[in-house]
Amino acid sequence: MSATLGRRLFAEYLGSALLVTAVVGSGIMAARLSPGDAGLQLSENAFATMLALAVLILVLGPVSGAHLNPVVTAVDWWLRRRAGAAPAPTLVAGYVVAQVAGAVSGAVLANVMFDLPAVSWSTTDRAASHLWIGETVATAGLILLVFALVRTANTRDAPAAVGAYIGAAYWFTSSTSFANPAVTIGRGFTDTFAGIAPASVPAFIGAQLVGGALGALLVVVLYPQPRGSEEADRRVLTATTTERADR
């Protein structure tokens, strides 16, 4: 493994871990500080998550693209494949493995920080068709936003825009916008405010994949040709198989 690839994979692992730590940790803190007030708990959880996500994209974007999400990685691969410049399959697989491992690590870290068992399988059932629709909508919107920014060379706005979207989607989707298979898996490892029962995870991921596909189609329809230089498109939220940015 090259040093550059190692840095990218570590950045994806670290970013996914810290993202889930923020999601789960703020959920635990919200439940403890605002017992009995679900609306306030959700507000606190959403606010912390959107800020953490914005910071992580800002810090890790120049290293790995700050995908932090297997659906983003998969759509990036598909769009680049259509343009004849797809990243190597090994890079895509490495990103996904790093993201999932990081998400699980982040849930464990949050549990331990709040003096809970390192792993406590969630008992929060989230198996319902309206929640799957919510996940489809949340993920499609996220993909459209991310790749609209990339294709219009507005990636400097990505930290604020993506953070704001996820914060809003906590409230306008029925599922509270997981929109990320790695995060969904990680949240199965904590029986706290942000948890999801392991039995509910596969359907959530299925809805996210459908949403990712819909979002990718919207990108192709609305933004058929990227604007700006190829290098600008590579800087944030996209994987690359070259080491140009590191030279």
* Residues 111-168 pLDDT 10s: 999 999 999 999 999 999 999 999 999 999 999 999 999 999 999 999 999 999 999 9
pTM for this model (two decimals): 0.90
Q: Are the beta carbons of 239 and 67 closer than 8 angstroms?
A: yes
Q: Is the pLDDT of residue 247 over 80?
A: no
Ordered by where they begin, the domains of the chain are: 3-238 (1.20.1080.10)
* CA distance linking residue 181 with residue 202, whole number of Å: 9
* Residues 197-209 pLDDT 10s: 999 999 999 999 9
* CA distance linking residue 108 with residue 104, whole number of Å: 6
